[in-house]
Amino acid sequence: MKFKYVDNSGKLGLFGALNIMIGSLLGAAIYIMLPDIIEGVGTGMFLAFLIGSLPAVFSGVYYIQLNATFPNSGGTYYFSKRLLGKYAGFIASSFLMFGVIGGVAMLANGFSQYFSLYFPGIPVTIPLVGILLLFIIINIFGIRTVSTLQSIMVLIILSALLIFIVPGLIYGSGVETGNYFLPGGSSALFAASVTAFMSYGTFVLLSSLGGKIKNPKRNTPLAMGIGIIGVTIIFMGVTITATMVAPSEMISQSSTALVDISSLYLPEFVSLFIGFSGLLAIATTLNATVTVGATELQILAQNKHLPNYIGKNHRKYQTPTNALLFTGLSTLILLVTGLSQEILMHITIVGILLSVFITGLASLQLPKTEDYKLAMFHFPSWIFYPSIFIGGLLSLGYSVYIFYAYPIIGALLIIFLFLMNGLHYFRHLVSNKISVVKSNKEL
């Protein structure tokens, strides 16, 4: 049997979809966020990642079922539109775009931090803006280019993480770090698990690429399931290794935690390789996030929620050039505000969680549709409905906590929704005027 990353039609095969999935999950969290998560949990950091995976695990059940039933590009929009109505789809996509823009900004910041490890003399704004432009240009060339690049980067990242884990577990078995288990108690564990969810939140991104995947009713659910399980195992290995090898204080004060930890037991050139894999890991998530953001915007424009020019394709490559530029420009505006990496990270989390919550509400209507009967498989109702309830409850609960802890994020979300609805209204105003002009001409 011959496996292909991309088939002759330019669509992703199972391996290509799996690389997009794994690459998006392996990025920011494990390389950027360890210092934010370790405080208060100590050797219980693996529990924070395990609990943080629960919204993705439970929500993943109904996302997998939705993708097995409605394998369309712009999945977040399409699922809610089909099951709750067009405006519900627009709001779900708007939430996702809020998270996408925050995520791209956070990832660009994280990339510039790792880049400075190799080139400390270069101002951080150069790699920050440069990486944004690079992936916008790459995405203009289409999903074939995106998939090929993603596959190479994922292979390097997985190799680096295995090099970090295996020797680290051996070395750490004879080391006394002075770390404690959950020194901050259950409240610190909950706060850390909210942040750790960022590690898994990007699982929803693959749903937006359904129309670009070959045999999406089979390949999208498989890629999502394998990706979530596989990456969770890797995260457990990395976090257990980190707390076995290095003191919590060292991890919390490091902006390049995996590099600094690995330097305790690996040669310098190997630690630098792990640092290089961090650049690639951030880049893989950034790559997937930019792709999904542009796809989602294009779907909104094509469904008459946003101005038509946002959804226009490149003449030669048939890629959403204007949507890519819109995503990049929105990210730069957010970066100019000077918001901290912590705020950007939680913007990403809350945007994804709210879109997941609305999609969960839409999933309740799924078994009533004719398409559901034609799906390739069906989760038993005793798995499907509890997953919707638990996934939705966790998504909403985490979101409320973020708004309480970071009120500025609630204010930014209101502004963003106001702007998106303004564009929505403008599109309908223009469409109505065109309709009136056409009617007058006919008369």
Q: How far is CA 343 from CA 76, 109, 147, 287, in A?
A: 24, 12, 30, 21
pLDDT at position 401 is 93
Between CA 127 and CA 144 the distance in angstroms is 25
Measured CA to CA in angstroms, residue 222 lies from 166, 226, 265, 342 at distances of 27, 6, 37, 32
Where do the structural domains in the chain lie, given as residue ranges?
A: 14-373+381-442
- Give the 3-state secondary structure of residue 322: helix
Query: Rounded to the nearest 5°, which phi and psi values hold at 312?
Result: -70, 145
| Tokens 């070395």, located at residue | 171
Query: In a structure prediction context, what are the per-residue pLDDT tens digits for the chain, which is 443 residues long?
Result: 333 433 444 567 778 788 778 877 776 667 877 888 888 899 999 999 899 888 888 888 888 888 888 866 557 888 899 999 999 999 999 999 999 999 899 888 888 877 877 788 888 888 888 888 887 887 777 666 666 777 888 889 899 999 999 999 999 888 888 888 999 898 999 988 888 887 787 777 666 665 667 777 788 888 888 888 888 899 999 999 999 999 999 998 887 889 899 999 999 999 989 988 888 888 777 877 888 888 889 889 989 899 888 888 877 767 788 898 999 899 999 988 889 888 998 999 899 999 999 999 999 999 999 888 888 778 899 999 999 999 999 999 999 999 999 999 999 999 999 999 999 998 878 666 655 555 556 55
Instruction: Please give the single-letter amino acid code of residue 230.
Output: G
The answer to whether 338 touches 146, Cβ cutoff 8 Å, is no
Fold of 14-373+381-442: Amino acid/polyamine transporter I (1.20.1740)
For the chain, count helices (H), then strands (E). 20, 0
Residue 60 CA to its chain's centroid (Å): 13
Distances 28 to 3, 346, 350 between C-alpha atoms, Å: 29, 12, 16
Q: Among 74, 283, 96, 64, which residue's Cα sits nearest to residue 202?
A: 96
Q: Which two tokens stand for residue 146?
A: 């995106």
Query: 276 — phi, psi (to 5°)?
Result: -65, -40
pLDDT number for residue 8? 40
Burial class (CB in 10 A: 0-12, 13-18, 19+), 53: buried
Instruction: Output the pLDDT for position 110.
Output: 80
Per-residue pLDDT at 2: 38
Q: Residue 142, by phi and psi: left (phi above 0), alpha (psi -120 to 50) or beta? A: left
Instruction: Compute the distance between CA of residue 280 and CA of residue 273 in angstroms, rounded to an integer.
Output: 11
**DSSP conformation class of 366:** G
Cα–Cα distance for residue pair 190/125, rounded to 1 Å: 34
Greatest alpha-carbon span in the chain: 88
The whole-number pLDDT of residue 5 equals 37
Calculated CA dihedral for residues 391, 394, 397, 403, nearest 10 degrees: -90
The pTM of this model reads 0.83
- pLDDT value at residue 10: 56
Residue 181 bridge partners (DSSP): 42
Per-residue CA distances from 45 to 33, 153, 287, 342 (Å): 11, 26, 28, 18
**Nearest partner of 203 among 387, 328, 20, judged by Cα:** 20
CB 199 within 8 A of CB 235: yes
Residue spans of beta strands (DSSP E) within 233-363: none
| Six-digit token string for 261 | 């930890």
CA angle 273, 277, 279 (to 5 degrees): 120
DSSP string across 140-161: HT-HHHHHHHHHHHHHHHHHHH
Return the structure tokens found at 161: 């993480």
Tell me what pLDDT residue 127 has. 87
According to the model, what pLDDT value does residue 433 have?
A: 61
Report the alpha-carbon distance of residue 221 to residue 58 in Å, rounded.
Answer: 14
> CA-CA distance, 344 to 238, in Å (whole number)?
24
CA-closest candidate to residue 320, choices 344, 297, 352, 339? 297
Helix (H) or strand (E) holding 367: none
